[in-house]
Amino acid sequence: MSAAMEPMKARRLYLLLREQILSGEVQDAARLPSEPALAQEHGVSRVTVRRALDKLASDGMIERRPGSGTFVSAGQAHMPVVADLANAFTHLVEMGRKTGVRLISFSYVNATPALAEELKLDPGEKLQRSIRVRLIDGQPFSYLITHVPERIGISYSEADLASTPLLELLERSGLVADKAQQIIGATLAGPDVAAALDVEIGAALLSMSRVVFEASGRGIEHLQALYRPDRYSFHMELARTGDTGARRWTAADSRGLTQANENNQDTEKKNARDKRPPLKRRTKNETGRDPSKP
């Protein structure tokens, strides 16, 4: 019922206006220039302006009143799910219990050179590769690609993965996580991730990659997580300790997981999945599931 990917000029104007609104360059709650004005100002046709505004409106960033004008929607809904950075891990474990998980794929593969190095694998060692999607209130917010050495991966079943956090599975089988590295960055959503997270194809995602090591120094888990930034973000509260000269910020253990905010306009957001018929995509089995277990 609607085209999938907005065309170039419209997208450009959309990003421009979005930038101006988010950066505070355009006053909050102010009226935007009229559509013909915007069209002339940016040297595009009104249809294009309209497409850009349509998208802003579907993002909930603007409100359009026929006969009156187009207005910046103040609020900017906050993040529904927020992870505390200081100990994101424990929260993730807790969250694993409160959220649903879909197992997208599960297989054993050869380690790529990069992965083998990061996990400090023995040469030729294989990896268990699984892809999961985490849901909260039935809505996906994270896409997890995990690689675990085969010798470790065999200690739990495919079904376990769909119900229990991986770290817990690992520790149940006697392994002791000792150290971990995390890198937080950003990337663009590809078609698979986009479909799984219900976002558009070029959307921005928060990415976290993590490698967990046991005491011996060998890697036991490699995780590449992709988050919808509108549903999940990292949150820290910092306190300044020490006096002038040696001042420094320390992470105040803010009781995180602010899970408020229910009026996000996401419900209203068209869940129309786009078509892109020619570009094929692998089929994927779906394993909806909700937790249980002590």
Partner DNA sequence: CCCTTCTGTCTCTTTTAAAAGACATTTAGC
Partner DNA sequence: GCTAAATGTCTTTTAAAAGAGACAGAAGGG
Nearby residues of 49 by Cβ (< 8 Å), 6 or more positions away: 13, 35, 38, 39, 42
- At 151, phi and psi to the nearest 5? -55, -30
Question: Which of these segments, 40-48, 56-64, 95-103, 148-156, binds a second copy (CB under 8 A)?
Answer: 40-48
Question: Which of these segments, 24-32, 58-66, 264-272, 286-294, binds a second copy (CB under 8 A)?
Answer: 24-32
Task: List the interface residues with a second copy, window 190-249 (CB under 8 A).
Answer: 190-193, 201-207, 224, 227, 229, 233-240, 244, 247-249
Q: Does 44 contact a second copy by CB under 8 A?
A: yes
Count of residues that interact with a second copy, criterion CB under 8 A: 93
Compute CA distances 169 → 7, 96, 161, 225, whole Å.
45, 12, 8, 18
Shortest distance, position 265 Cβ to a second copy, whole Å: 16
Shortest distance, position 72 Cβ to a second copy, whole Å: 9
Shortest distance, position 280 Cβ to a second copy, whole Å: 6
Nearby residues of 67 by Cβ (< 8 Å), 6 or more positions away: none
Place of tokens 């040469």: 123
Comparison of 51 and 132: residue with beta carbon closer to DNA:
51
Q: Which two tokens stand for residue 56?
A: 């802003």
Q: Does 260 contact a second copy by CB under 8 A?
A: no
What does the binding site for DNA look like in residue numbers (CB under 7 A)?
3, 6-11, 32, 34-37, 43-48, 50-51, 53, 64-70, 278
